[in-house]
Structure 1
Amino acid sequence: MMTRLSVVLPAKNEAAAVGATVARLRALLPEAEVVVVNDGSSDATAVVATEAGARVVSHPYSKGNGAAIKTGARAAGGDVIVFMDADGQHDPADIPRLLALIEAGHDLVVGARQKGSQASVGRGLANGFYNRLASWMTGHRVEDLTSGFRAVRADKFREFLYLLPNGFSYPTTSTMAFFRAGYSVAYVPIHAARRIGQSHIRLLRDGTRFLLIIFKIGTLFSPLKIFAPIALVLFSLASFWYGWTWVHTGRFTNMSALLYTGSVMVFLMGLISEQITALMYRGRD
């Protein structure tokens, strides 16, 4: 184990599971600092976590999973931080496997959930799509983009706190930020158990959020890889429509002009977004 290790658990109304999770961490990693971020819970989460041996940092009201992660990262005193769920999904026994790759020189190690670990078929399909999209964007195989079980070098993770959203998509944002910055990312296969208690994710409420993740993947790494294909499709449609109308009516239509204009605008938006992304990371340096 690293000389200084912190384990951060964001928790909202997890009184049923957080005590057992903290107890296992204290037994397996007695030298590690365990920080539970109580995100405005209405139950006894803070009390149970404290009694189990964790240091509890509480939000006065619920700010979101990502906000809890940022609070935990700021409060943690370790050189390496392990983030994991407090609901019993992640096995503390897997932590040494993540730390072994950190010690081998990686900056971020993600616990990649294997088949049968997804909460639902729909979510598994969505995560598979995100993984393939992120792999295409980065040019590296991304095995689990949205896993919240990960070990990071604390100083490098804190560089990107300003990028992290307050909601649930912090794993996506942090992974793509590490790739963009040229840091080393690795994966360790894990099995996630069924959570204890009710999930805070709702399909209808969070459907738009998952859709926005797709665009966030692009804007955090290389926006032009998202905008350029869209511009090409619009340009191709414009050319096809122009050819069809010229053959049948002998004229250039307003629809062709609209599609050509749209393709140019989308491409220029991609170029501008690419420059903004470059400046964002240059500011970090």
Structure 2
Amino acid sequence: MALVGVDSLTDLDADDVVVAAVEAVGAKPDGGVIPHVSVVLPCYNEEAHVLLEIQRICAALDATEYPYEVLAIDDASTDGTLEVLRKAEIDFPSVKVVAFHRNGGAGTVRRIGSGMARGDIVVWTDADMSYPNERIPELVEMLDFDAGIDQVVGARKAEMGSHRLLRIPAKWVIRKIAEKLTNQKIPDLNSGLRAMRREVALPYLRLLPPGFSCVTTITLAFMSNQKTVVYVPIDYAKRAGKSKFKFVKDAYRYILQVLRMVMYFNPLKVLMPPALWLVGIGAVKAIFDLVVHPFRFAQNTALLLLSGLIIASMALLADLIVRSRPE
């Protein structure tokens, strides 16, 4: 199979990259079989185990009747990952390799890979041996069996990543914030194993950030638009190789992305509560000030009231923009 090279990863030219890459992949003869399942596999410095992961994915899907493709995307690895993928592309007919010339991050890989996918169902997973990819057919079957389900996510039973003492409470807090803002139960906000309907996911791909918070983004995008997301419990193993997760930077990005996504679809959820609190506190303080000092209106009281009113106005304006935005 021909190797596809992608050189530019910026948001401005990503659509052109996708079009060119799709044309290149589609030009390779594949017997005329259109895949039903497309597995998007980000690969960055996974030389030691990426072949085992590809073998596991292909073995699981070969045992089914689903026509499939595995889009193995090398994100400008600095080790021998690309060479391993080239060999795997020869040995596994369903594997297609895409090579980035500059590192774009897991979100960029998944965004471009999902845009390239030809299957009705797109599967996201990792190449680090941490997720039970042998269960991919199970996720696909759930989507095929129930047309009302739009996304199936593997909810991890335990946290096996690095910085566990910090990650577990941090993820719990972020998840609770997301649940509060979406009014939905979220067993696992940032699981990397999920299957979704491509036609449902396509409008939200442009919202994906470059980094790890892309999985959080796609979850919140579906939930905020009344799409059905179902969770199934999965085991989670300690990853092979070195973790790319940076606790402080990535935790900050997760929180920021949760707020950004809810703001994008439902700004009243984020802005109106603090606005009402400020107005309420300001009103109580104003009454107190007028009782204690009948002819004096404190500056901080005015500041509280004005701040609340300004934020409330911003919330209403943002909501108007969201409601007038074409789907």
Fold agreement, TM-score > 0.5: yes
**TM-score where L is the length of structure 2:** 0.80
Give the AA of the match of 2:319: E
Change (3 A) 1:204 1:116: closer
Count residues with an aligned counterpart. 281
**1:148-159 alignment runs, 5 A limit:** 148-159=192-203
Which residue does the alignment assign to 2:140?
99
Contact 2:120 2:199 in 1 (8 A): yes
Cα distance per residue 1:219-254 (max 9 Å; x no partner): 133111111111122123323433443344442111
Conserved in 1, the CA contact under 8 Å of 2:38 and 2:117? yes
Is it true that 1:4 corresponds to 2:40 in the alignment?
Answer: no
Is residue 319 of structure 2 the alignment partner of residue 278 of structure 1?
Answer: no
Q: Identify the residue that residue 226 of structure 1 maps to in structure 2.
A: 270
Q: How does 1:1-285 map to 2 (within 5 A)?
A: 4-30=36-62, 31-52=67-88, 53=92, 54-103=95-144, 104-105=146-147, 106-117=149-160, 119=162, 120-250=164-294, 251-280=296-325, 283-284=326-327
Q: For 1:116 and 1:202, locate their aligned partners in 2 and report how far apart those are by CA, in whole Å.
A: 16
Q: Please say if residues 176 and 217 of structure 1, whose CA atoms lie closer than 8 Å, have aligned partners that are also in contact.
A: yes
**CA distance in 1 between partners of 2:42 and 2:320 (Å):** 34
User: 1:164: Cα distance to partner?
Assistant: 1.5
Distance in 2 separating the partners of 1:3 and 1:39 = 23
- Runs of 4+ in structure 1 deviating by more than 6 angstroms, as ranges, are none
TM-score normalised by the chain length of structure 1 = 0.90
The percent identity for this pair of structures is: 33
Contact 2:170/2:251 (8 A) holds in 1: no
CA RMSD of aligned residues (A): 2.0
TM-superposed CA distance for 1:109, in Å, is 0.8
User: 2:72, 2:98 within 8 Å by CA — same for their partners in 1?
Assistant: yes
Change (3 A) 1:12 1:118: closer
1:108–1:186 Cα contact (<8 Å) kept: yes
Shift of 1:130: 2.9
Letter of the aligned partner of 1:274 in structure 2? D
Cα pair 1:180 1:221 within 8 Å, conserved: yes
Q: Distance in 2 between matches of 1:279 and 1:167?
A: 30
C-alpha change, 1:22 and 1:279, in structure 2 (3 Å) is farther
Does the 8 A contact of 1:134 with 1:217 survive in 2?
Answer: no
1:272 partner amino acid? L
